[in-house]
Amino acid sequence: MKFTDIVSPFLAWSRAAKKADTIPYPQKSNPGSDRYRGFHRNDLDKCIGCGRCEEICQNLAIGMVQVEDSQPVKGDSGLRPLVDYGRCCWCALCIDVCSTGSLSLSNSYSWTTYNADTCAYIPGTDEKAWDHTPKGYSQDNSILKWAGSPRVSMPAARPDKRVDSFEEVIRGYSPEQAAIEAARCIQCGLCVTACPAHMHIPEYLRAIADGDYAGAVKLFFDNNPLPEMCGKVCTRECESVCAMGYQGEAIAIRWLKRFACEQFESLSDVLAVDEKPLEQGRGKVAIIGTGPAGLSAAYYLSRMGFEAHVFDKDEEGGGVAQHAIPEYRLPAAGYEKQMDVFRKAGAHFHYGTEVNDADILKMSDDYDAVFIAAGLQKSSEFRIPGVELPGVKHAFYFLMNKPEDGSIDVGARVLVIGGGNVAMDTARTCLRLGSEVVISYRRRIVDMPADEEEIEEAMEESIDFRPQTIPIRIEKAGQRLKYFYAEAEMIDDPNGGRPKPVRKDDIEHGIEIDTVFLAIGQSSDLGFLPEVIAEKMTIQWGEIEVDKDQYTGVKNIYAGGDITPGAGDIITAIADGMRAAKAIRDGGNLIVNLK
Amino acid sequence: MDKNLQRIISESSFESDTIREDEGYLHVRVSRVHVLELLLSAKQRFDMETLQLISVVDRIEDAVFQLTWILEDSGGTSVFMISADYPRENCTVPTIGDIWPTAILFERELHEMYGIDFPGNPRQNEDFLLEDWRELPPMRRDFDTLEYSLRTYGERRKRTHTDPREYIADSIDEWDTPVPMKDFER
């Protein structure tokens, strides 16, 4: 035995009071720095499943997957990103491009697992310890913030110049502008979930970006036979859910549709619709009304080989959409180009033919199906003292009479009561006729049902908005009229409805005007429905209830457009017409003869 | 701007482009033949004592590596940055390890990540982060990370993927249109 063997154990004890040189056990955590790029987190309330993170990932670390049995809903694909940490290189590009900013990286970097294949998870769905840690890398603390390009602005006439004429306000994109704008689309398809007609938006945007305008137009007609009209005045639900719109601006889907249509003198040439319909002799369908719903049904039925007969009491047809929208938004010149498609598709038009209850009964005998798309034809009544005075008019009838030619004298000062599109259209039309215009609306401007853009443009054109004003009465004042109103304050509805305007004080304000336009809504006129049919339908608030196939519950009779409950816009009516055509094609409810 | 910083370039015998200047901050671009001279004078005459970092941008489109030396003065109040372009092909940059010993480590990293040769650096061939790397240096932009990872690690785990666009179209039966434009190839 050596001497050191005896001494060593005692020498070791001499280190007992010193700091250990070895790694401490149990191991102490060593947190990542504040902006460390660690494991992913996903705020599921914000994620819309657009797949932009997957698209950018250089290493295929991210795959969009179904979460349980989620389905696409409006504005959300229902898919969520799954991250594979065998591939992820922590570059954080997925964070930089995230459309909504829902995806972020925590500063946690340590995770022990016995099976390498389990080193992947769906952030947000699969619970992890770092889900709620405040630190890490996100768009909030990155230098880039968010990677996206701005919208190409639409050239428009200047507000002070455009009020002098009825010339169209919007000028349209150039091919270069359209290509740049269309190329901003990330092809996620969320827009399709919002479009009532489910138009193939990503595909036609790509066609426009590639310069294939004819290809785009053909794609329009798959689900929408009135693309030029929609390209000008659509309510564009699609843009409201666009992934690019969360942190930047939505793709100008409507303007691009308009652009592609504008590239052709004739759309029927592009579609080659004058060739014979796909299949002949499938049956006869009567369609009441030549608005968007009626035209849409007529187009698809004709193209499918049905004999479509469209009836309209007007000499021209076109419905409210074509006639009530003023020239500066939807020029009448485009109407012929559009109707050319329907005529060449083989639809039969019967203008100046008012349909009454006896006709409907006869039609249900003579035709294999009837599609009612008569729309809303009556302007709603408004009861305050003085509405019976001459000089008090209904805005809806005024617009339908095409006042652009100046044949109707509205006087020097005009008052419009209401806050919808009809109110805006009337106000802006009167402005162009040279009048000073005041708009009186009971609620706030944000509560107005009119398109935001229309309100904005009306304000630019210096229309005098008087929100939160309650109409009291209209009196005669010499050659003119005097409108009395009270100011209102908004009272919250305890039941959670929208705030109600309540008169604030006893003070009456009066303004002198020449003409008052009432624009408080339209309603249907179902007088043409025979009683035997009407009593079998479910009719509420003057609207005919239908199922998902636009079927009224009465054999062979379908309905769509504004006469049925719904959003009441053009694209919804077009979708109704297409759905009815599909249902008639599939023949589920086709039993000839009503009696 | 800092007078001291301004003097570094005004008192030099060659031209330089100012990229950015700010309070206590100057970033210049010079021809690569003047880099050593400028670095030396900055340290010896103008108190730029610390080499913070050497950074590289792979400007593959211009076929150059852009190197940037970041210097700081002894008080830590001003920063001086020198950028210069070097041809990407067989890129050779003189070492500054004898001016700032810390550069030996920085250059070793750049040698490994970009394949830049620093003749005179005694340790540049030692592994920095990667062990026994035989591929193209991985930070070069012509290095294909996806190809490398598939070749090296394979499909370790079957990747699942659903395209949002197709998923939406299928769920709402979008392509069941009454009259599809069949002649349009999509």
Residues of A in contact with B160 (CB under 8 A): 63, 65, 82
Q: Is A304 in Cβ contact with B178 (below 8 Å)?
A: yes
pLDDT score for A274: 67
- More confident position, A221 or A27: A221
Taken as a whole, chain B contains a residue count of: 186
DSSP E strand boundaries for A272-376: 284-288, 307-311, 348-350, 369-372
The domains of chain B, with CATH numbers, are 3-171 (3.30.460.80)
The pLDDT tens digits of the residues spanning A559-592 come to 999 989 887 889 999 999 999 999 988 875 554 4
Average pLDDT over residues A294-306: 91
DSSP state of B117: B
pLDDT band at A197 (very low <50, low <70, confident <90, very high): very high
Q: Number of Cβ pairs closer than 8 Å across A and B?
A: 105
A472–B contact, CB cutoff 8 A: no
Tokens representing A564?
């049925």
SS3 track for A355-415: CCHHHHHHHHHHCCEEEECCCCCEECCCCCCCCCCCCEEEHHHHHHCCHHHCCCCCCCEEE
Distance, CA of A471 to CA of A489 (rounded, Å)? 14
The class that CATH gives domain A284-377+524-586 is alpha beta
State the average pLDDT over residues A17-42.
84
Question: pLDDT tens for residues A171-196?
Answer: 899 999 999 999 999 999 999 999 99
The answer to whether residue A571 neighbours chain B at the CB level (below 8 Å) is no
Q: Taking the mean position of all CA atoms in its chain, how far away is CA A561?
A: 16
Residues in CB range of A529: below 8 A, 6 or more apart: A357, A360, A372, A537
pLDDT at A548 over 90: no
The single residue listed with the structure tokens 């993927």 is B161
Q: Which residue has the tokens 């409201």?
A: A240
> What is d(CA A293, CA A311) in angstroms, rounded to the nearest whole number?
13
Contacts of B184 in chain A (CB under 8 A): 215, 218-219
Q: Do domains A284-377+524-586 and A379-522 have the same CATH topology?
A: yes
Range with the lowest mean pLDDT among A280-284, A316-320, A536-540? A280-284
- Look over chain B and give the mean of its residue pLDDT values, rounded to a whole number: 89
**Distances in Å between the alpha carbon of A397 and those of A294, A321, A377, A380?**
21, 13, 9, 11
Which one of A49, A272, A278 has the shortest CB-CB distance to B164?
A49
Distance, in Å, from the CA atom of A467 to the CA atom of A501, rounded to the nearest integer, reads 10
Kindly list the distances between the CA atom of residue A533 and the CA atoms of A261, A361, A378, A428, A565, in Å, as whole numbers in the listed order: 41, 8, 22, 41, 18
Q: Which CATH number fits domain A379-522: 2.60.40.290, 1.10.150.120, 3.50.50.60, 3.40.50.2300?
A: 3.50.50.60
Q: Which residue has the higher pLDDT, A15 or A81?
A: A81
CATH class of A159-271: mainly alpha
A229 and A334 Cβ atoms separated by less than 8 Å: yes
So what's the pLDDT on residue B184?
47
**pLDDT band at residue B178 under the 50/70/90 scheme:** confident
Confidence of residue A36 (pLDDT cuts 50, 70, 90): very high
pLDDT at A591: 46
SS3 content of chain A, % helix, strand, coil (to 5): 30, 20, 50
Average confidence (pLDDT) over A493-520: 88
**Res A593: pLDDT:** 36
Mutate to test the interface with B, among A52, A62, A77 (most CBs of B within 10 A): A77
A80 in contact with B, Cβ within 8 Å: no
Q: How far is B145 from chain A (nearest CA, A)?
A: 7
Q: With an 8 Å Cβ cutoff, are A77 and B161 in contact? A: no
Residue B63's Cβ-count burial label (10 Å; 0-12, 13-18, 19+) is exposed
Q: Is the CB of A120 inside 8 Å of chain B's CB atoms?
A: yes
B177 and A303 in contact by Cβ < 8 A? no
How far apart, in Å, do the first and last CA atoms of chain B sit?
60
A391, A516 contact by CB (below 8 A): yes
Q: Which of B181, B182, B183, B185 to mutate to test the interface with A (most CBs of A within 10 A)?
A: B181
CB A565 within 8 A of CB A545: yes
* β-pair partners for A84: A120
Q: Name every chain B residue with its beta carbon within 8 A of the beta carbon of A77.
A: 164, 167-168
d(CA A62, CA A531) in angstroms, rounded, equals 61
pLDDT of residue A276: 60
Mean pLDDT of B68-87: 93
Domain boundaries, chain A: 40-137, 159-271, 284-377+524-586, 379-522
Residue A277's pLDDT band (cuts 50, 70, 90): low
Mutate to test the interface with A, among B143, B151, B163, B165 (most CBs of A within 10 A): B165
Phi, psi of B50 (to 5 degrees): -105, 135
Residues of B whose CB is below 8 A from A67:
none
Using a 10 angstrom Cβ sphere, with 0-12 exposed, 13-18 middle and 19 or more buried, the burial of residue A501 is buried
Q: What is the mean pLDDT of chain A?
A: 88
Distance from CA of A208 to the nearest CA of B (A): 13
Distance, in Å, from the CA atom of A355 to the CA atom of A373, rounded to the nearest integer, reads 12
Beta-carbon contacts of residue B86 (< 8 Å; ≥ 6 apart): B32, B64, B65, B66, B67, B92, B93, B116
Q: What is the pLDDT of residue A321?
A: 83
- Paired residues of A475 in beta bridges: A482
CA-closest candidate to residue A60, choices B127, B132, B154: B154
**pLDDT tens readout for residues A113-124:** 888 778 889 999
- The answer to whether A223 contacts B177, with C-beta atoms less than 8 Å apart, is yes
* Spatial contact of A580 and A587, defined as CB atoms under 8 Å apart: no
pLDDT at A594: 34
Q: Is the dihedral of CA A50, A52, A53, A58 positive or negative?
A: positive
Among A145-149, A357-361, A485-489, A574-578, the minimum mean pLDDT is found in A145-149
User: Which residues of chain B neighbour A223 with C-beta distances below 8 Å?
Assistant: 174, 177
Residues 206-265 of A with CB under 8 A from B: 215, 218-219, 221-223
Nearest CA distance, B42 vs chain A (angstrom): 30
Of the candidates A87, A189, A203, the beta carbon closest to that of B168 is on: A189
Q: Which of B160, B161, B178 sits opposite A582 (nearest CB)?
A: B178
Answer whether B146 sits within 8 Å of A60, measured CB to CB: yes
Per-residue burial over B133-145, b if 16 or more Cβ lie within 10 Å, else e, is eeeebbebeebee
pLDDT at B57: 96
Among B146, B153, B161, the residue with its CB nearest the CB of A64 is: B161
Q: Please report residues of A whose CB lies closer than 8 A to that of B167.
A: 66, 72, 77-79
Please compute the mean of the pLDDT values over residues A506-527 and round it to a whole number: 89
More confident residue, B96 or A556: B96
What is the topology classification, in CATH, of domain A40-137?
Answer: Alpha-Beta Plaits (3.30.70)
- Nearest-CA neighbor of B33 among B75, B81, B92, B84? B84
How many Cβ atoms sit within 10 Å of the Cβ of residue A279? Answer: 11
What does the angle CA A440 – CA A443 – CA A449 come to, to the nearest 5 degrees? 90
State percent of chain A over pLDDT 90: 47
Interface test with A, best of B141, B182, B184 (most A CBs within 10 A): B184
More confident residue, B61 or A526: B61
Kindly give the pairing relationship between strand B64-72 and strand A515-518. unpaired
Q: Does A26 sit behind a cis peptide bond, omega within 30 degrees of 0 on the bond before it?
A: yes
What is the per-residue pLDDT for B156? 67
* Lowest mean pLDDT, pick from A44-48, A240-244, A321-325, B25-29: A321-325
Average pLDDT for A325-351: 89
The better pLDDT of the pair A95, B172 is held by A95
Q: Write the pLDDT tens digit of every residue in A371-421.
A: 999 888 888 888 888 888 888 889 999 988 888 888 888 888 999 999 999
* A517-527: average pLDDT: 88
Residue A511 has pLDDT above 80, yes or no: yes
Strand partners, A416: A439, A517
